[in-house]
Chain A
Amino acid sequence: MKANGTVFKYGDNVDTDVIIPARYLNSSDPKELATHCMEDIDKDFVNKVKKGDIIVADKNFGCGSSREHAPIAIKAAGVSCVIAETFARIFYRNAINIGLPIIECPEAAKGIEAGDEVEVDFDSGIITNKTKGTSFQGQAFPEFMQKIIKAEGLINYINQK
Chain B
Amino acid sequence: MGMTMTQKILAAAAGLPEVKAGQLIEADLDLVLGNDITSPVAIHEMDKFNKDGVFHKDKIALVMDHFVPNKDIKSAQHCKCVREFACKNEITNYFDVGEMGIEHALLPEKGLTVAGDVIIGADSHTCTYGALGAFSTGVGSTDMAAGMATGKAWFKVPSAIKFNIVGKPSKWVSGKDVILHIIGMIGVDGALYKSMEFVGEGIHNLSMDDRFTIANMAIEAGGKNGIFPVDDVAIAYMKEHSKREFKVYEADADAEYDEEYTIDLSTLKPTVAFPHLPENTRTIDEVGDVKIDQVVIGSCTNGRLDDLRIAAEVLQGHKVAKGIRCIVIPATQQIYLEAMEEGLLKTFIEAGAIVSTPTCGPCLGGYMGILAEGERCVSTTNRNFVGRMGHVDSEVYLASPAVAAASAITGKISGPQE
Contact = CB atoms under 8 A, between A and B. Distances in A.
A89 B51 CA distance: 29
Contact of B45 (A96, A139, A144, A155): A155
- Of the listed residues A66, A68, A88, A139, the one surrounded by the most CB atoms of chain B closer than 10 A to its CB is A66
Contacts, number: 66
Interface residues of B, number: 28
Contacts of A88: 192, 222
A90 interface: yes
8 contacts: A60-B192, A63-B189, A98-B142, A139-B22, A141-B24, A142-B23, A145-B24, A155-B142
B140 A86 contact: no
Interface string B28-69: 000000000000000001001111000000000000000000
Contacts of A129: none
B261 interface: no
B155 to A, nearest CB: 9
B306 interface: no
A80 interface: no
B251 interface: no
Interface of A: 60, 63, 66-68, 86, 88-90, 92-94, 96-98, 139, 141-142, 144-145, 148, 153-155, 158-159
A157 to B, nearest CB: 9
A66 B146 contact: no
In the A-B complex, list the 9 residue pairs whose CB atoms are closest, starting with the nearest: A97-B142, A94-B140, A159-B50, A155-B48, A68-B140, A142-B24, A154-B146, A66-B140, A89-B193
A92 B193 CA distance: 10
Given A94-B140, A155-B142, 9 more contacts: A68-B140, A89-B156, A90-B124, A96-B154, A97-B142, A142-B23, A145-B154, A148-B154, A153-B142
A93 B124 CA distance: 13
B145 interface: yes
B147 to A, nearest CB: 10
Interface in B112-164: 122, 124, 138-143, 145-146, 149-150, 154, 156
Nearest to B22: A139
B224 interface: yes
B109 interface: no
A153 B154 CA distance: 13
B256 interface: no
Interface in B344-363: none
B375 interface: no
A82 B155 CA distance: 19
B12 to A, nearest CB: 18
Nearest to B156: A92
Contact of B146 (A63, A67, A158): A158
Contact of B143 (A60, A93, A159): A93
A89 B142 contact: no
B96 interface: no
Contacts of A89: 156, 192-193, 222, 224
Contact of A158 (B24, B138, B150, B189): B150
Interface string B333-376: 00000000000000000000000000000000000000000000
Nearest to B50: A159
- Of the listed residues A63, A88, A97, the one surrounded by the most CB atoms of chain B closer than 10 A to its CB is A97
A97 to B, nearest CB: 4
Nearest to A71: B140
A157 B156 CA distance: 18
Nearest to A140: B24
B26 A144 contact: yes
Nearest to B158: A89
Given A88-B192, A158-B150, A159-B50, A93 B140 contact: yes
